[in-house]
Each structure stands twice: as structure tokens, then as C-alpha cells.
Structure 1
Amino acid sequence: MAYFAPTKPQGWEPETSASQAGTVEFLLRYAEILKAQPGLKAVLQRIAEQTHTNFYPTCVGLIAEEEGRFYLSALASQDERSHRIAIEQDLAEPYQSITVAVRKTLNENRQQLHSLDLSHTDFHTFFGAPIRTSQSSTVLALFLTADQRLTEAERTFVSALTQIATMAVSDKELSQLFMRITRSSRQWAEMFDSISDFMLLHDEQQRISRVNRSLSEKLGKHPAAVLGLPVRNLFGLSSTSPACPFCLDLRSQEFREEFREPRTGNTYLVSSSRLRGVAEETQQQIVHVLKDVTASRRAERLYRELFDNIQEGAYFSAPGGRLLEVNDALVRMLGYNSREELLSVTAHDLYVEPAHREMTARALNQFGRLRNHELALLRRDGSIIYVLENSFVVRDDAGQVMEYRGVLLDITEMKNVQSQLLREHDFNTQILNHTQSLIAVIDTAGLVSYANRRCCEVAGGEEADVVGSRLEAIVQASHRPVLRGAIECVLEGKAVNNLELPLARERQTIGSFSVNLSPMRSPNGEVNSLVAVMTDITDVAILQAKLMHTEKMAAVGQLVSGVAHEVNNPLTAILGFADLLLENPELNDQVKDDLQVIVEESERTREIVQNLLSFARQTPPEKHAVDVNQVLRRTIALRSYDMGSHGIELIEEFDATLPEIVGDAHQLQQVFLNILNNGCDAVREAGRRGRIVIATELSAGLVEIRFRDNGTGIRYPERIFDPFFTTKEVGKGTGLGLSICYGIVREHSGEIVCFNNQESEGATFAIRLPLMKGNTAKAMAKAAASTN
């Protein structure tokens, strides 16, 4: 960018011009102008502007030095923006033309002309005059174009201006320095008074020269009232004590670091410094700063007492594992003789598994703290101690781990007790879960709070399903009021024993159980729950029923035997005389018809008597090896035509591999035929298409024969085998058929049961007969061979 100096405006006249150069009036006027400026920066700018005015249109700038670098502090020019950019770019490089010229001017301390190479401006020559003060170094620079020259008189004028400028700058710098000193002194005094710690200054004679506001307020005196007093007077010390209790030896600069005030008992940390005067002869002063650490020392003492007297073991350790501090409880806990002995051991050596130390450290580094972390440590004698650790991390300002700190609670005894309790609990649980009785604990609301495994199995769920439910849920609905009454009785403090209840799961009957209910009491004697022990007595009940039935059958058999003999004798006479009368040809047809009725009814009565005698005698069967399937097929053949004519479907499901049994084939056929007849009657009464399924199989070492029909079912299955019990119409049955079947099966060492079908209509009769033993087969084979 080329520089073109504009012409001076018409009528323009400088405030001081070059025409006044050399005159005293001009220099005085110039000095007054500079002196009137408010600050150093304004002075420098005014120097540039005045010089630019006197040498118009020359560009004038003031270039200052600061820490070895130069910067443009003031500029006056007709094109100030472009000239400032050009000059500042040149000054930014240490070896450019302006920088070199300024440095030479300052180093040689005289006015010089230097050539410039600023290709982007019209500047050709640089004329610099140094302005030096005790505080700064500045160069008054005139930037001349190629057609501008400075005469000797003009150089002298610039020299005079520079001298006046030097004095003005020095005056402003001294004024600013004085203001800074004054301001610093005021700030120091304010800082001195604003410090909350106690501060005092004294001279070499140890007499007070200044105290801060905090100390004067503590003393309750104005700062001026204590000036000149010995330091000891401030703290109530006797006159025989040193004038300053904090100075031990001023020559060697030994000072007390801690001081306890006798009057109040407060403890202070003392920081002391020597303040040197500017001149050699100036007296030196000592400043003492007293920081009240009474509270912190008390807290430290309490912390130390707590640290040393707590029952838990406490420790500080470095990240590397070195123990920094431990308390006496930890020393005792780990079985060491002294704190020093334990501190000589690394933390890694205390772990049963050293890798656990690294795991603990990683967890602490990640989470910052650990709560109730269980550890196994080694005592000094090698035994194991179990502890609960609560620890945390101490970090520096950069976030790096400095220490691990924690407390350890000895839980070895608790662990042993827990282990013992756990073993006892497991033992008791094993007993409760392996007993065949159902055991449950019920609260006062009637809800189950505990159930053993057998109880859960019967209830058909897991323990979580049973707990919280009502016990009556597994009792048949018809007997639930009985259980509720028993529970109410137990909650009143009474025990209920041998309460027989049928248990059921949904609609399926499980069996009969004997229930014993006992109250459980709290320490104050109140009933807070009850224990229910339920024993399965289904088999016992069945055996009792069978025993009662057997005894009843035996009694009926004895009765029937006597009655049959007594009836048979007159019946024989009636039948005989009726036959004789029928042979009399003199009788008319009406009489003969009546006699024929007598004969028929007598025959029927004799048949009934024969059945009664057969039932009563229960003669031992003639036992041989019997193929059950073959006997069943013969029986079916007797009834197949009749069943087919009535539309009854007969299904055979025989096990072809069924082994033989020992029995009387004729008696067994009688049993099978009787049951088959009853089935036919039942399906015909049902009024639907009849179906009878006969199945055989080997089950649990017994041959099982099942007759399953879809008839009307059995209304009284518990009485079906009782003598003379029948549900048929009068004249269609005597009630002895199934009783005789029951006796035949018992004579074959078997059993016969009946029940209504659960999932369909009808009933099922099941006969179970024992297999033929090996010794029996051999004996029967030998008997057959000898017979042949």
C-alpha cells in the first residue's frame, strides 16, 4: 500500500510548531502540554501527536521495549490504520528493519538515521531518538519518505523534544510508582487486617509495632494501645519470661513453632518471618502468624483416642500394600506382639489368598468404598480369622490413590456359630423333609408359614406356593369346618390329637390322615402359631376296614351256617311232600298248578340255602396252575351271546405274557362270571350303548384283572362286599354274589376292590392275585408226574 501524504488543510496551524523551535517559550509550552496529560499512555500519545504536528506530514511513533521485545505504544499519522499494521508486522519479527534500527538506537544511546526496506509503504528512512528512564526504554521514531530530509536544526529540535519527553515520562512513571506503592501499602494493611489468624510485628527489642484486627479484637484493645509493649504482655506472661515467647534466638533465626497460651489453654501454630529494611541501618522486624489449632488438636486427640480404643481393628495402608498405621485392636486381633511388629508386615502377607488383596484393591479403586466385605486373614500363628471389612480410598487432588483406610470386625466366632446353626438347621431340615408325615406351621391368621417337603408334595406345589396359603386348601371341602374348629381350639391354647381328616388335591382324594395340632407360644406365653403333624393312615384305615369286613363276614358266615341247616330240613320235607302230591292223579289242574308253584319256590329257596351254605363254609379251593387269560375267555364265552344280543361291546386287553398263578379255576370262573353279570346289569340300566373292558397285566409282582364298564356306577362302594347288601330290585338279587367272590379271592391270598371311574362313567372292579412261586411250581409238577 503506497503512502501519499495529504496536503495540510487551509488555515491549519499547529499548537506548537517547528518555527518555535529553539525558543524557551516553545520548550516551556511543550513541557506544560506533556505535564498536563493524565497518565503515561496519554503522555506518549501526546509526544507522537506533537512531533507529527511539527514535522507534518511525517509519520511519528513511539516504540517501547518490554522483556526484550518491541511494541508500538503510540502513533500519529495521516494514514494511521495502514501505518500501524505495517509497523507492527515489522516489529513482530526480531530481524526486520525497524526492529534492528530501534535496537541500535537503544544500544548506542544516540540519535541515528537508518535506512528502511518496507516495500509495501513509502517509508525510506528511520530517525530514532532514545527516551530512557529508570523504569523504561522507548524510542521516538520518525518515518521519512524518500523525498524528506532532516536538517541539523531539525535534529537539534528533535533532541530537545526528546529530553523534555524523557523528563515528562520519568515524572509520570515516578508518580505512578508512588501511587502503586501507596496502593500496595494500603492493600497490605487491609490484607494484614483481613487475615483471620492472629498477626503481630515487633522490632529487634521485641516490642509491638503492629497487630492485625483479629488479634486486637481478641485482646479487646485498639491496635494503637498495644504499640511499644513487649509481646509477652499480650498473652499474660510474667515479666521474668522472654519479651517475645515466639523468638528463641534472633541471631540464628530460631522460632517457636507451637505455643500454648496459659491464660486460655488455647494452642497455636506459630509461623515466623524476618522482614529486612531497605537500608542497612534500618531495624529489622519480625512477623509472627498465630493459627488457633485448639479445636483441630482436640479433634485429633479425640480421633487418636477413638482410633486406639475402638474394639474393631483399624488400618491405613499404601496402594503398594505397606501398612502405614494400625491400632492396638488390630494388633491383638491378628496376634502380634506390638504395633511395630505388625507394621513391618505387608498387607499381602495377611491374606489367606494373596490374590484377594488385588481383588479388594481393584474394587476399592472402582467403587471408592467397600461395605461389609468378608475376608479371611492369617494371624501371626498361621490360624485363620474371619473379618468384615469396611474401607474407603483416599485420593489426592489429581485423583491418584494415596491410601486405603478401613476397619475390620472379627466375625470368627459368629462364623463358627453360624456354621453350627447352619449344620443344625440342615440336619433338622433333612429330618423334616425326609419324614413321611406332613408337617406345617400355621400363624394365627390360619396361613401356612412353613411346610416340609412331604407336605408340599401332597399339596402339589413348591414351598413358595404352599407358604401363605390356608391349610384347609388340602382338606376335603366336607371336612374343612372340622379343621377350622380344631385350629380355633388350638389358638386358645389346647392341643388336638388324632383328628382324622381326608386330604384332597383339587377333586382327587389323596387319603386319610391323622392330624395332631399343637400350639407354639412366644416367650411371654401367648400362642403365636401352631404346628400341624399329619400322618398318612390310609393303609391303616383300609386294613381296619378289611379287618372289620372279615370279622363281619365270619360272624355272618356262622349265623348263616346255623340258619341254613335249620331251614334246609323243613324245606326238604316241603319239597318232598309237594312232589308226592303232584304224582296224585286225583288232584285237579288248579291244585297241581299251585303245587307246582310250591315246588318251584321250594327249589329256589333250596338254591338260596345252598348259596348260604357255600358262603358259610368257604371250602378250601383245589389249587392248580391256572392261566388267568384262559379262564377269562371261557367265562366270556358263557355270556358273549347274551351280551351281543343286548348291544354290549366287550373289549379284551389281555397281557399275552401273563404268568400262571396257583388257584381253583372253577372258583375263579365263578368270581369272573359274577362280576361280568353285574357289569352287564349296570350298563343295561344306564340306557346307553354298553361297553365292558376286561384287562390283565402284571403289576408289582401281582396278576391284576380289571373289569371296567360304562354303567351307572356304584352308589355305596364301601358296602358292596357286605352279605345281603344289594341295590337291585326285590327278587333280582340276594346280595351274596360279591360276598362269595370276596371270600374266594381272599382264599387265593388276593384282594378285590371296586371304585367309580374318575374320568368317565361307570365303575371298575380290580382283582389282584399272587404269582405262583418257584417251589410251588416244582411241587405241582412233581405231583402231576407221580399221578401219571
Structure 2
Amino acid sequence: MNAILASHWMILGDMTVPRLMAQESAALIILAASLLVFRTFRERYLLIWILGWLAYFISRWTLHGSFDPDSLPRYLTAISHAEFILAVCLFAAAVFVYTNSRAFLLPLLLITLCIIAYAATRAMLWPDSVTLRVALETSYRLIAFIASIQLIRFRWARWEIGAWLLSFSLLLLHLTWAPITAHLPPGFSLMGSVLLGLSMLLVIFDDHRLRTRRLAVINALTTAITRAQQHGPMMATALEELKELMQASAAWIRLLEDDKMVIAQQIGLSQDYLRERGAVQLDDTLEHVLREGTAKVMKTSALPEHIQPYLKGERFHHIVLVPILGKKSPIGTLALGSRHHLSYTPEEIEFLTTSAHQLGLAIENLRLVEQILRSQRQWTNTFDSIHDFVLVHDSEFRVIKANHAILQRLERAPADVVGNLCEAVLPRNYGQWSGCPYCHGNDEGFYEGTDPCFGGYSMISTSSYMEQGSKQKGTIHVVRDTTDRRIAEEKYRLLFEQVQEGVFVATPEGKLLDCNDAFLRMLGHTSREDLMALNVDTELYASSEQRELFRREVELHNYVRNFEVTLRRKDGTLLTAMESSFATRNAQGKIERYQGFLLDITEKKRAEDEIRRRNRELNALNAMAVIATQSFDLDEILNLTLRQVMSLLGAETGSIYLSDSDEKTFRRRAGWGQRSTERARFSEVKFSEGFGDLVTRSRTEVITAEYLPHLPPLVAEFIRADGLLSWIWVLLWGKDGPIGIMGISSRDNREYTSNDENLLVAIGRQLSTTIEKVRLYEETCRAYEDLRRTQEQLLQSEKMSAIGQLIAGVAHELNNPLTAILGYAQLLESEGLGQRAADFVGKLFKQAQRTHRVVQNLLSFARQRTPEKQQVDVRKVLQETLGLRDYDLRVNNIKLEPEFDPDLPAVTADPHQLEQVFLNVINNAVDAMLEVGKGGSLKVRLYSKDGDVFAEFQDSGPGIKEPHKIFDPFYTTKDVGKGTGLGLSICYGIVKEHGGDITARNVEGGGALIEIRLPSTSHIAVPEIVPQPPPREFAIEGRILLAEDEEAVLEFERDRRRRSGGHINECGRGARAAARRSV
């Protein structure tokens, strides 16, 4: 019966509860293990993981139940797929929670719901759709892949097997699908499930191991802090532990010092980084971390640009900045630098924050301990470094403490003194005492007198104290040896009383506290009480501005050195003193008194002023002497001298007048300062009566107000023309009389001293000598210039004479063939030629006559003759002169535009000199027009006006650069070798000798105009009538002797005489001589 029931029960169990396969059993075992682990490690991600395993188990159990897989209902397939998708998403959620990627949870939830609904719908409606199945497989594998990547990124570079194994196992999860599972080896799914479960357990165990290590580090830090006596080694230990635990490349601690963050300890940083970033300003990044009080992970690329190069030099991927908090405020930062990508859990960040806080408290405590020890050492060193004797005893006069100075004086060790009675330790060589030699009735304060132990004088400072927490009372004696000071005070007292400089002590309010006898004598007082009653600021100092300047200097520098002051004596006179004083201030820095010395420098000041005045005078005289020797420019010398005199004597205006050659007219050559209208009226003045008999007879050099009644009225008016209160004039005497006068004046009513007058006399004499020297130099220069000009004119005359001889020779040589040409032309005219030939012969004869006239003009121009004035027709002379340049004018395309007055009067002049003047002017006009190009026009005009004859020459050239210099000797604008600059100068002299005038100017529109004016004779010039020779008869009887050196002329005369019927006898040069002898 029982067997039957049991068999039925088994059948019923098999029908209701599916059997567990190996994969479902493994999943159930791992689920149970996870629950056991969760009891110990209650992690949130582990709870999510357990729920995922539960869903995974249900998915597998549903799929591999008692039903036949081939005939599995669609709804079970939908449930299995939905549970599997839920399991994968829960696994991914656990990973996201573990990696602190909580931002993925909400998107994961939405995606999970969508994929679950999609999986169930596909299994129910389209179970055989391959496309939809592929989409399902891709979706959950994508979620598993993202979770794996996030896990690997989170635990990157930590090399923990659990995280890597879990990432790999997540990728092995899959649904049962024949196209995929058919190619997998048997047991692959079981192995994947086991690895997935074990990997999560390994992750939990890795976290537990890290927690254990963090606790060990905390324990090591606590041990190091407990044992450390200095914060340096303690920080080094902490950095080493944290660096190893956090797998960092470097670790360092910066402590806040003023407004800088200074690296106090480091591990792993390079020397370059320490040198460049050892101490940095508190920037925004550090301020933010210190202000927030939380750790911050910062990538190198996200930091400010000025920090990135240093971190990149250390190859840091990121740094972790943790604030180090003290008891009240942040004291620094802990930094961990890593060269790899690392992620940090909240536990790790919290651990770093806790460790940094613990370090901060330890650093502060160690600093306080070091400060206490340093203060104790400083107090001990200060106590022993005091040169005064310091003795501390209790109420029973037992020595508690003695400093090194008193121990050295007693020649005892501290153990021999401390704890013993004062009577047993201190000597009694200089007096009897009991208890303590320095206690005087147990009064606190100062006592100065003889030292009962060591002799001499001493100042004793006594004070009492009560030990904290005890009623024991102690006394402290500070004994200072004042023997040397008493001796020095006596010396200084004698010095204060006997020193010749005035010594004083005064308050800032002006009350005199103390002074010596020299100060009394200096100010003319005999009673110290009377002087002490005076106010220094208002009654002793003559200048309030000076006193105020003294106050500012002392307030700024706390002293003055050689400060010049002006004081008032008792009798009211002023003295100049040199003050050197300093200020004494109270604890608040306020000036309590002035102390110093006064040295009377009144006489010294007067002597220095006299020396400076003498130096200025000597410098002025030297400057005038130098300019007189270096320059011959009289205006420069006069202006410099006048400026020196005005500067020396403080004048406002000044003038220097020099006499002309008549010694009566004076012209202003130099002037400075404001000039009145009256003085402007005297730019040139003539003293017809001179300077008066008194001044002339006595050769007075300085004219002051006392001379005014003895001066001529014009001279007096001249002197007082400036209208100023004070003035003085100096006569500049030459050998024969006054050559100039120099005067200065001022608005101030000043009285010139005898020293001033002597200075002016010296300057006037030197200036007179200089003026005569310059005038002599100028006369010498003029004489030399006249000599040079004469030499040039002589050379030009010789040159023109040679040119004239050459022209005469050439013209003479041309004259003979021209004579033959003219003769033959006349013979041809009488031959009865045809009309055309006769016309050609006439033109030939006309041009030959023209050539003959040119030659005759050249001969006339070159002929040497003595200037002889006669009545001249200017028109004829000008026409002949133009004929000389007619060829050049035509060749150079210069148009001649003559305009001659027909009723032109004659002038009395030398025609050849006029020809020279006209020719020179025409030549200059032609040269000027050729400078700017070929061609132009020359207008020549002759007319009479007001009894004078005017000749104008106007060219179309560039004009004259300096018309006022054109008639100066040797002035030329031509290139070197093209002109001497004497032509127009000679013309100017010729015209002036004829009583005329020559001027030059530029005309509007371009060109220059030369105008020559000559006085006329008021008679109309009558043209010269050339008498015509009477016609010669051709019939000649008798013999004719022809004598001629020129062969052409001889032949022409022979032919002409033969036509007239005469018998010709020819002879050569010797025959001509014989003929002359026979005649």
C-alpha cells in the first residue's frame, strides 16, 4: 500500500514540479551561495545580483522542465525569454551600481521593459521569425556588452581577476536557439553560468580584500602618527602607504603657508616639477577643493592651461585632490597622481578624505608640539643669552633659576647654584646683607645704586610671580651693570655742556625742554629760563614753511641731516644754522620730542655766497673771453655777453649799442628782456652833443643816477627809456672815444654795489677790446676780399685781353677773303647776267656784307682802347651787340623780340663799355634759357623816361635764385669752370661809373628781367650817315702798281683794274716793300 502511494506521489511530483537539470542546479547553488555571502557583505549591488540570479534560475527552470522542449507551449517560452531578459538587465544593473554609473539605471529600466515586452510578444505571435529572433539576441547581448565595458573601465589598470572574469562571463549569457547553441560544445552553458556566479563572488572578495588593506593602511597611519615626533617622516610614511594602496604613480602633500601652497612631502615627483611647482599661489582649483572640503578627481586635460604642461611632463592622466582639514580650517591638500585611467568608488574617496583628515589633525598636533618645544628652547636660549644677571628665588631665598651670565660671573655650574640659598651662593665682598642682596623690603620695581655683591653700580628690576596651581611665590631679579653707563653719562654731560654747537631737546608743540650754553649764546640769550619760556615754532624759527618742511622730513625719515634753518636772535637779527636732529617716539609711534644739534653757519654762508658770486663773475668773464677768442661774430659775442651780465646781476632787460663810423650815431646790436615802446624808439640814436663834458673828460665808465644832471637831455632820456626802477649803464671806451654803451635795468628797486660796478667795468673793458678786435678783423677781411677781388678782375682782364687779341687775329684773317668775295660779287653784277643769276649774285653780295659787318664788330670789340665818353646812340650800340649773338640765338631757337623807341635821346658814355655790358647781360640770359632746354624768347626794350634811357632784357629762363646777390663779386649759379661770377659785378661797376643803375628781378610767369638806367643828354640821337664813295670811271690810263700779301685780294684787284683799262704791275711782299720805297 505504501509503495503504491509512494509511486503515485512520485508521478504526481513529476507532473507538477519539473525536474532540475545540471544548469538549473548550478544556478540554484550559486543563488544560495550569494545569499550566504549577502549575510556577511550587505552590498546593494549584491542584492540586485541575487534577484538577477533568481530570474536566471526561473528562466532556465521553465525552459528545461518536464515538458518536451519541442512541444513547449508558447506562453512558457515567452515567460522563459522574459525572465532571461530580466536576469541580464538585473546583472547589468548590479554592475552599474557597483561602478557608480547610476545614470544608466533609468535608461536601463525603460529598455528592460521594452525588451521584455518585445520578447514575450515575439514568442507568442511570431515564434518562427528569424529576423525578430536576431533582434532579440542582439538587444540583450548589447546590454551585457555595455555592462562589461563599464566594469572594465571602472576597474581598469587594477588587475583584479573578479572584474575581468565577470565581464567575460556576462558576454557568455545566451538563450537557447538552435542556430547558435547547436555549434557550442556540450556543457558550455553550464560552464558559463558557473563562471558568472563565481566571478561575482570574486568581485565581492576583492572588495573585502581592499577594505582589509584600507584598514591596514589606517592602522599604519595611526601607528606612524603615534610614534612620530616630527611631521616630515610621518607624512612620508602616509604617502607611501596611500600611493601603494591607490596604485598611484606619485603622491604629495601641500601645506598652506600664507597665500601659497607649498609641497611639504612627496613621493614620485621629478626635480623639475618640484622646482617649478614647489610653491604655487592659491588658485581657483585649490580654493574650490579647500572650500568644499571633499575629494575631487580631475583629469589633466580638464585642468587650467597653465598647469597642464607640468602634469603632462609627469605623464599624469589624472590627479586626486583631497583637502587636509585641521581642527578649524583646511591646512593643505593631499594629491595622488596616476599615469593610467582609474575609477574610484565612493568608499575609496571617503577613505582618502578620512585619511587626509587624520593626517591634518596629526600635522597640526605635531606642529603644536614642535612649536612648544621650539618655544621652550627659545625661552631657554633667550634666558641664557641675556647679558644682565637674572636670579630667580622662592620666598625662602632659595635659588630656583639663574642664567648663564650670573653663573659665569660666579664661576659655578647650574647644579651648584640651583636649590641653594642666596647667602651660600652670592658673595659679600661689597656689603653686608641677609636673605637676598637685591630684595629691598620686598618692593617690586626698579632700584639703582651700588651693587652689594659685585661692586660698581647696577640697576635692579624686581618682580614677583605666583606659580599656576600653587601658592608658592617667587621673585625675579634682573641685575644690569650700569657702571660704564654712569661713567659715559658723566662724559656726555660734560660734552653736552662744553660742546660749541647748540644742543636742544624740544616737543612737537614747540616747548623747549633742555638746551646747552652754546644754544643760549647762539640765540643771544643770557637766561635759560627766558629761552625755555619761548615757543620754538613761532618765536625762534623765522620761517613757518621751513618748520613745516622740517616736520614732514622727520615724520617721513625720523631724522634730518644738515637741514638748513633760519632762526631769530633775541635782538631780532637772523642767523642761518645747520640742524641735525632726530625724533623720539612712544610705543604708539607718535613723536614725543625732537633732539638735535645746531651749527651757526651765518658767516660761512656769507663767505660761500661771496665765493659763489666771485665764481659766477669769473665764469662769466671766462665765458666771454672764450667766445671772444673763438668767434668773430660780433652779434653772437654781444648777445652772449649781455645774457651773462643779466644773469649775474638779476636784470630783466638789457641792451648794447655800438657807434657808427661818425662816432655820434649808436645802433642797438643786442637786446634781451621785455622792451618798452620808448626803448623800441631808440633802436638807433644820434648823440650830437656826445655824453657831456664831465663824462668825456673823466672817461667815466659806469653811469648811474648821480650822473643824470650832468648828461645831455637826449642821453638822459635814452638811459631812462625802459621806465624801470633800477638801472645802470656802462660806456665802452675805445682809443679815441666811446664805441658803445651797455645797460641793464630791473623792476625791483635795487641798489648796485661797488662790486657790481667793478664787475661791469671789467666786463665793459673786455668787451671794448673784443669789439675793436672784431672790427679790426672785419676791416682786415674786407681788405683781403678787395685784394682778392682786384686780383680776380686783373686775371679776368688779362684773359679778356688775350681773347680780344685772338678775336682780332681771327677777324683779320677772315677780312681778306671777305674782301675778295665782295669784289667778285660786284664784278659779277656788272657782267650783264640773266635775271635769276643776277638775283643770286645780289644775295651773295648781301650775305658777304653781313659777314663783313660781323667781322668789323669783332675787331671793334677786341680793339684795346682807353675808355672815352661821347654822345652815343644806345640803339646802334645795342643793335651791333645783338648782331654778335645773332647766330647763336638762331641756332638755339631763341626768338629775339626787340622794341626800340625811335625818338631815343643820346647818352654820354663809352660805346665799347656799353657794348661789353649789353653783351654780358645777353650772354647770361642765353645761358639761363639753355639750362632749362633749347629755345625761348629774349625781349629787348629801349625807351626813355624822366630824362633817362632804360634798357630792359627779359628772358624766359628759370629766373634768378637770389636777385639781391647777383651783382656781388664771384657770385655765380653756373657749374665750376663755366663762370667766374665777375661779369655782372663788372657791369654793375661800369653802369655806376656812367651815373646809372642796374637792377635785377624775377617776373611773374617765369624768367628774369635786367634793367639798365643811363642818364641821357636830352638830345635826340642822329643816325650816323655813311658817305657813299663817288662812282669810279672804268677807263684808266697809265700803269698801276698792286701790292698785297693776300693772294685772293691781289687777284681780285688785278681783274678789276684790267677791266678799267690800266696796265697792272704785280708784286709780292718784297715788291710791295720796294714799291713803298719808290713812292
TM-score, normalised to structure 2, is 0.28
RCO greater where, 1 or 2, for CA within 8 Å and sep 6 or more? 1
| More helix by percentage | 2
TM-score, normalised to structure 1, is 0.36
